């Protein structure tokens, strides 16, 4: 079966849903949006505090890194959204665009249209509803008092150069998650010129010589083809987009050759340059008042009747940007706070009442990569995050300094009143000497903050995977619009800039 459309968008996530919605605003343009997952109808998607219940479920790609030497040889679980809305359906709903300076760095790599002045209006005009938290825990106020006592500022969220702590602004609408499916696809679904296909796994992009003509995809084991009169946009994210490019013959010739894939374009950086935000949480026991009680009947009724209470929590209720070295011009870590014992990412439940606080490595020097396991499009790609792998050991040193800062915040009068000093994970860590304790926490409690980027890097240089117009180098009528094009990871959270990349891509396509 073969159909024809003006545009084909692969992936309905933080960027792809935006591109499809914006392009279909023109009634003379036909758009096909293909999503490997299903619709975003699971109730745990809409209930903010339930997001960890989605991990390792049918709406999750459920990736796992290869063993990471920098983390004591552990593998690290990587959830990625396999559902309408993509990872905006699984994330912690934090709207943190980051620093204007980071986008100015993008402009150095990809031209002035990717600088802050050009992108700022797009951040302001997205369809995403960004709101204050409806019912944050009192522990979050206690934490903000603690950071003041530790000498840090408390400020309003999302300035162009953050320099302190704040309560999280969240992507919610009336107490429910507001993902890109709700914000962009729901109002567009009635358009006759937009076709949305779920459970449609794209195998590869099809070409006539160097011109992208369409895609092949699978639905329930049956193969279909669709052709594009104008362009194809890959929006599968930092894992799936490079995998699709490589399966289509665009990548490192040596790797493609190992899997018997004919080389269409030699593009060695496909899948390379991967950055991710590593987080390492310290979790101490508290007497109560945490969202461990969110599923008690009174809280459930409060949520169902008034969209208030603990179930509206995004878990990560506060954060702040700090420098681990006073000589730094800009912060190098973010400290993130959750009024809950967030251990093992909630995969084994909440073990007790606890408060979690830890550093996020904002500008890692370490690099990872995405590679093919085989030429089978249904086989998961190989994820090597490369955590703490930089030869100089700078990333490890930064995280250890930051963990000491976290320990100092827990020791402030406000925080010391509510914690008993006992670590939830690993148990007994408080009995270790400080240096040994911090190393243990770093190696055993660290995991992804779910922000992989840069595996199809954008730039003005010929070695970049895509050019500043998001066009894949070496071919025609194929673009990428998702976090994989980011020249550098930002000091912030990647959902907001991914939405803006989708908005920017739609502008480029319409022009």
493 is catalytic: yes
Task: List all residues 6 or more positions away from 435 whose beta carbon is below 8 Å from its beta carbon.
Answer: none
Q: Are 340 and 356 in contact (CB under 8 A)?
A: yes
The pLDDT tens digits for 64-108 are 999 999 999 999 999 999 999 999 999 999 999 999 999 999 999
**Residue 1 confidence (pLDDT) above 70:** no
Question: What DSSP designation does 209 have?
Answer: T
Catalytic, out of 277, 423, 451, 495: 451
pLDDT digits (tens, 9 = 90+) for 183-226: 999 999 999 999 999 999 999 999 999 999 999 999 999 999 99
Angle at 295 between CA 294 and CA 301, to 5 degrees: 95
List, as residue ranges, the binding site for FAD: 83, 202
Partnered with residue 166 across adjacent β-strands are: 319
State residue 2's pLDDT score.
78
Superfamily for domain range 2-510: FAD/NAD(P)-binding domain (3.50.50.60)
Residue 451 annotated to the active site: yes
Average pLDDT of the chain, as a whole number: 97
Render 274-342 in DSSP notation, one character per residue: BB--EEE-EEEEESS-SGGGTTSHHHHHHHHHHS-SGGG--S--EEEEE-SSTT-SS--EEEEEESS--
Cite the annotated binding site by residue number: 83, 202
pLDDT in tens, 422-443: 999 999 999 999 999 999 999 9
Q: Which of 152, 277, 493, 495 is catalytic?
A: 493
């Amino acid at each position: 079966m073969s159909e024809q459309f003006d545009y084909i968008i692969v992936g309905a996530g933080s960027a792809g849903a935006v591109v499809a919605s914006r392009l279909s605003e023109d009634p003379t343009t036909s758009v096909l949006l293909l999503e490997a997952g299903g619709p975003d109808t699971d109730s745990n998607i809409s209930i903010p505090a339930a997001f960890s219940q989605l991990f390792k479920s049918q709406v999750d790609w459920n990736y796992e890194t290869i063993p990471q030497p920098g983390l004591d040889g552990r593998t690290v679980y990587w959830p990625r959204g396999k559902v309408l809305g993509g990872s905006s359906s699984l994330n912690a709903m934090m709207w943190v665009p980051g620093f204007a300076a980071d986008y100015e760095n993008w402009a150095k790599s990809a031209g002035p249209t990717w600088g802050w002045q050009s992108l700022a209006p797009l951040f302001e005009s997205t369809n995403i509803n960004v709101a204050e938290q409806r019912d944050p825990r009192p522990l979050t106020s206690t934490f903000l008092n603690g950071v003041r006592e530790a000498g840090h500022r408390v400020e309003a969220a999302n300035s162009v150069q953050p320099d302190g702590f704040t309560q999280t602004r969240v992507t919610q609408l009336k107490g429910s998650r507001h993902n890109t499916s709700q914000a962009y696809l729901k109002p567009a679904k009635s358009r006759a010129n937009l076709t949305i296909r779920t459970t449609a796994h794209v195998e590869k992009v099809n070409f006539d010589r160097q011109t992208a003509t369409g895609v092949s995809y699978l639905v329930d084991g049956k193969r279909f083809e669709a052709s594009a009169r104008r362009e194809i946009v890959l929006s599968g994210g930092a894992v799936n987009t490079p995998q699709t490019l490589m399966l289509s013959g665009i990548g490192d010739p040596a790797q493609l050759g190992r899997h018997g894939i004919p080389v269409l374009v030699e593009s060695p950086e496909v899948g390379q340059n991967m950055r991710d935000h590593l987080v390492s949480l310290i979790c101490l026991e508290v007497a109560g008042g945490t969202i461990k009680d969110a599923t008690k009947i009174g809280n459930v009724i409060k949520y169902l009747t008034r969209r208030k209470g603990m179930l509206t929590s995004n878990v990560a209720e506060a954060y702040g940007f700090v420098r681990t070295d006073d000589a730094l011009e800009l912060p190098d870590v973010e400290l993130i706070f959750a009024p809950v014992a967030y251990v093992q990412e909630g995969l084994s439940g909440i073990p007790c009442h606890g408060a979690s606080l830890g550093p996020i490595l904002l500008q890692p020097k370490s690099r990872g990569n995405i590679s093919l396991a085989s030429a089978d499009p249904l086989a998961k790609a190989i994820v090597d995050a490369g955590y703490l792998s930089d030869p100089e050991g700078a990333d490890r040193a930064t995280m250890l300094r930051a963990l000491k800062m976290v320990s100092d915040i827990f020791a402030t009068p406000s925080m010391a009143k509510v914690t008993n000093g006992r670590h939830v994970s690993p148990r007994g860590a408080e009995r270790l000497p400080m240096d040994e304790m911090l190393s243990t926490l770093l190696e055993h409690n660290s995991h992804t903050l779910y922000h992989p980027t840069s595996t199809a890097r954008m730039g003005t240089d010929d070695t970049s995977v895509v050019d500043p117009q998001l066009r894949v180098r070496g071919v025609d009528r194929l673009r990428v619009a998702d976090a994989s094009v980011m020249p550098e990871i930002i000091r912030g959270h990647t959902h907001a800039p991914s939405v803006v990349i989708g908005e920017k891509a739609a502008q480029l396509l319409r022009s």
